[in-house]
Structure 1
Amino acid sequence: MTDERIHLSRTVPSVYEKIAAFSTEVGQVARAAGVPATTAELVQLHASQLNGCAYCIRVHTKRLLTAGETAERLAMLPAWREAGIYDERERAALEVVEAITLIGDGGLTDREYRDVLDILSVDEYAAISWIGVAINAFNRVAIAGRYATGPHAAGR
C-alpha cells in the first residue's frame, strides 16, 4: 500500500475533462455577466480556504498575485467581513460563495439573499453561484487525492 492517494484526474480523465469543461463554461458565463476576473479568483480562493484545499489555495493565490492583487487583501480574505478593504460587490460575491461552500449551514437567509440581490444583478449572482459550485467540485477532487502542494510541487 502506498501513501499516495488515487489521483482522480489521471485515473478517470474523461470525468475530469468534463469538470474542466464545466469550469471553462462557468468562466465564460462570469465574464459575460461582468464579474471581474479578480472577483472570480477571490471567491475561488475563499471557498478553497474554507474547504482547506491547499492545492487550490496555491493556484488561486498565484493567479491573484499575477493579476496584481495585494498581499494585504490576500491575507485579510479569511476575515473579509471585518477587513474593510473589499468593495460592496466583492463582499456580496464572497457572501454568496461562502453560503454555497458552507451549504450545510443553511445557505443564505432570505434577508441575506435580498441584500445580495440589491448589489448583484441576477446574472452576476448566477455566475458567482456557478463559480462556487465549480470550485467546490475541484476542491473535493484535490483534497480527496491529496494533490501535492509541497516544494516539489511548486512548478505545478
Structure 2
Amino acid sequence: MEPRVNLSKSDPAAYAALLAMNKAASDSADAAGIDPKLRELLKVRASQINGCTYCLRMHTRDALELGESTDRLAVVSAWADSEYFTAVERAALALCESITMVSVDHVPHGVYTMARAVLSDDQISAVAWLSAAINMFNRVAIASRYPVKP
C-alpha cells in the first residue's frame, strides 16, 4: 500500500486542537455523569460504522481495561437487537450512530426524542461532542492509513 501523509504529524497544531477538543468533550462527559465504559462503547460503535481499524482496536482495548465485558463488546454493533444495554446506553448509542451517519438521516426526531427521554441536556451534549470527536479521529486515522499490525 502506498504511504500516506500522517495528518497528526503533518500539522501538529491542528492535531493538538483536536486533542484539546477531545479533552473538553471528555471533561463534559465526566461532568454530565457519562460512564467511562459507555464512552468507550460509543467510540467503538462509531469506529465500527466508519471502518476505522486503528480506533476500533484502541477503544476495544480501553473498554476492556475499564472492565467492559467481552459479550457486550461482541454485540455492540447489534445493540438494538440485544438485551445487554440499558435505556441510557441505548439512547446514547442511537444518538452516536445518527451523528456518525448524519449524511444519511440528519439525526431524526425519533432518535432525539429517545435521548431526551432518558438523558439530561448535559448528557445529550456530552454524547454529541464525544461522537464528533471520535468521528474526527476516525477520519484522521483512515485518511492517514494508520497501520494496524498484530
When the two structures are superposed, what TM-score results if normalisation uses the length of structure 1?
A: 0.93
In structure 2, what is the equivalent of residue 149 of structure 1?
A: 148
Gaps of 5+ in 1: 152-156
Question: When the two structures are aligned, how many residues end up with a matched partner?
Answer: 150
Matched with 2:16 is: 17
Q: What percent identity do the matched residue pairs reach?
A: 39
Q: Runs of at least 4 residues of structure 1 off by over 3 A?
A: none
2:57 alignment partner AA: R
Residue in 1 that maps onto 2:77: 78
Query: 2:146 is paired with a residue of what secondary structure?
Result: coil
Within 1, Cα distance between the matches of 2:38 and 2:130? 10
> Paired residue for 1:3?
2
Q: Which amino acid letter does the alignment assign opposite residue 106 of structure 1?
A: D
The unaligned stretches of length 5 or more in structure 2 are none
> Residue 91 of structure 2 contacts residue 111 of structure 2 at CA under 8 Å; is this kept in 1?
no
> Which letter does structure 2 place at the counterpart of 1:27?
S
Deviation at 1:11, TM superposition (A): 1.0
- TM-score, with structure 2 as normaliser: 0.97
Q: How does 1:127-142 map to 2 (within 5 A)?
A: 127-142=126-141
Corresponding residue of 2:113: 114
Matched, 1:45 2:35: no
Q: Take 1:140 and 1:130, find their aligned partners in 2: how far apart are those partners?
A: 15
1:5 deviates by 0.9
Q: Per the alignment, in what secondary structure is the counterpart of residue 118 of structure 2? A: coil
